[in-house]
Chains A and B, each alone.
Chain A
């Protein structure tokens, strides 16, 4: 009885585990090995052109100004873009929550739509809107009496442009989670607070926020993980420019790996990204545990 179930379980698991091991875990480990070599286009032509670099590869990486640039950009995107996304999502969720029952579902759908649009398609529109002279955003700025901004052409503004785009694209996802969490808060809590004479702000501070905490920490975690993997937005909108102001770690990996076929170096970038994510995830979940 037990045996048959054990056998059945492994048979059921076999396709998924095989696929995950062969096409995900295996390559991830292979990437670690590759990252210690100088595997490149010469190696693909003739395997005797391979050298073992060991940790020297990571020393080269740490001396590469472009790597630091990409790291800095990625962190900017994670911190600024991530927090902006969470704040906008929370604000939208609270507002919709306060709206009439009849329009809630409609508004949720509207705010959610950018999430399901294909990123390349949306980026194409935003690129047109960001145009320094004929883009709608600059037309609006000039109309308001402000100087036009070369959003994607000026290194000072390009990352902000990417952030604004990605907030627009992503906040709906987190908003839905917040909204569900808000709707699950028992009504009695507010009634009790109202009887105690709590103001709206106090109700928010002492009822809503604590009840939202699990959802909040989940949203923060997935936002951080997602933001570290920034790629398609800069690939389509700026190609990492101007002056590498929007070069992200994944784009750096793509450039080295798939554009120049510096596979070893690209794999090292990927593993640094991985290590960063592990550290950040562990830190975040530890913070969460402590708060509980």
Chain B
């Protein structure tokens, strides 16, 4: 029967051959170098850049913006570095920069002190490696306390808590409002609140030139115990980010009164919370162990960096300095709520939402960056893991911290070896 239909047979093989040839051509086309100035950015910033500069000509090149999801961005960037396919300009989360500097993925230059002075000190600290300027702080963030004023008042507090004890006390009272009212939302896959608390307690996370974990220090232990006890008292619901269907719906429903989060949520809260709640939420600086010292938090945000593999570095630098002009930073703020890393740009944005921005402005002056070592992301992963184990009572606090130190030391083994060989390494 097959042999009686040669025409159909031929058609089949023509199709196969066509697809093979087509794939060869398609693959060939795919590897051609592109004449565009390629930019990789994450999340909302990518959306902003797409509408703002995508397709524009800068330094003689057409700008091409690509978006990475935040959750996979770190591994995508590293993979691209390994594969040699990094674009010309990358947006880097502030804690990632040391890693990309250490492997030589981003370009570092010398810079004038006068330029640096305009940036927040915490942001400069994160981008200055061995006194060289490796990334340009684009926007900054730090985490402050978002809270429901009405619920807090119903629990008997007209003002936000200022100390840890007041905070815990307020949460207990809120918990008594009903089973569907928790004190605080603290997702188990975010470490920023815990690290901010540790900074407030005066903890150094690593010791001896960042060669060993220092999590068993009394300062860190104090912050850790406080954080874990909030879960043990049932003041915090056990949720990971994937579990929160809709933070905004939950916040509106009063599932939690406090949420420690960053400036990007100013805009989201304004947009997503129902109208009747718009006067009922506010921000405040993080509560402190005791009154007196300034409230410290973690410096976050992102930098823009030029990659060493780029063959259009001048255009890349031109693009970055354009994006860092006070006008552009103001524009970025209005589009995304990202806070400018340069103080001079704050003059233009100050009147947008003055009450809620004050907490950020105050806290940014005292924000600290996490240890500037390539291994930080992995250590943060360990931190999350042992925090979760302690929160879930799988491990007692002291054991969790001892194991955390031991595993951190293991992660840092290669760093110790490298430091021994070339003591000048960062």
Contact = CB atoms under 8 A, between A and B. Distances in A.
Interface of A: 38, 40-42, 44-46, 49, 51, 60, 65-66, 127, 131-134, 150, 152-155, 237-239, 241-244, 258-261
Contacts of A40: 414
B378 A42 contact: no
Contacts of A258: 75, 79
Interface string B383-398: 0010011001010000
B237 to A, nearest CB: 9
5 contacts: A44-B82, A127-B242, A131-B243, A241-B240, A241-B242
B67 to A, nearest CB: 18
A150 B103 CA distance: 41
The main secondary structure of chain B at its interface with chain A is helix
A242 B188 contact: yes
Interface in B81-124: 81-82, 99, 102-105
A244 B407 CA distance: 16
B70 interface: no
Contacts of B374: 41
A259 B385 contact: no
A155 B103 contact: no
A153 B75 contact: no
B12 interface: no
A42 B105 CA distance: 11
A153 B239 contact: yes
B206 to A, nearest CB: 18
Interface in B28-80: 71, 74-75, 78-79
Contacts of B81: 44
A132 B418 CA distance: 47
Given A153-B240, A242-B240, A45 B102 contact: yes
Contacts of B394: 243
Nearest to A254: B75
B238 A150 contact: yes
Contacts of A60: 410
Given A241-B189, A242-B388, A243-B389, A152 B99 contact: no
Contact of A131 (B78, B245, B403): B245
B210 to A, nearest CB: 15
Interface string B347-388: 000000000000000000000000000100110000001001
Nearest to A38: B414
A261 B104 contact: no
Contacts of A243: 385, 388-389, 392, 394
Nearest to B417: A51
Nearest to B188: A242
B110 to A, nearest CB: 22
Contacts of A44: 81-82, 103
Interface in B174-195: 188-189
Contacts of B103: 41-42, 44-45
Nearest to A155: B392
B242 A152 contact: yes
B102 A42 contact: yes
Contacts of A152: 242-243
A10 B238 CA distance: 61
Nearest to B388: A243
Nearest to B377: A260
A43 to B, nearest CB: 10
A27 to B, nearest CB: 15
Contact of B414 (A42, A45, A46, A132): A42
Q: Which of A40, A60, A133 has the most CB of B within 10 A?
A: A133
Contacts of B79: 258, 261
Contact of A261 (B78, B238, B245, B388): B78
B238 A153 contact: yes
Nearest to A154: B238
A162 B388 CA distance: 20
Q: Which of A42, A154, A237, A238 has the most CB of B within 10 A?
A: A42
A133 B239 CA distance: 12
Contact of B242 (A38, A41, A155, A239): A239
Given A150-B243, A243-B385, 11 more contacts: A41-B103, A42-B102, A42-B103, A45-B105, A49-B418, A153-B243, A238-B242, A241-B240, A242-B240, A259-B74, A260-B378
Interface string B401-426: 00100000010001001100000000
A60 B414 CA distance: 13
A49 B420 CA distance: 12
B93 to A, nearest CB: 14
A42 B418 contact: yes
A141 B188 CA distance: 25
A51 B413 CA distance: 12
Contacts of A237: 242
Contacts of A66: 385
- 6 A-B pairs closest in CB distance: A45-B103, A153-B243, A259-B75, A243-B388, A45-B104, A44-B82
Contacts of B239: 132, 150, 153
A258 B77 CA distance: 11
A288 B238 CA distance: 47
Q: Which of B105, B243, B394 has the most CB of A within 10 A?
A: B243
B401 to A, nearest CB: 15
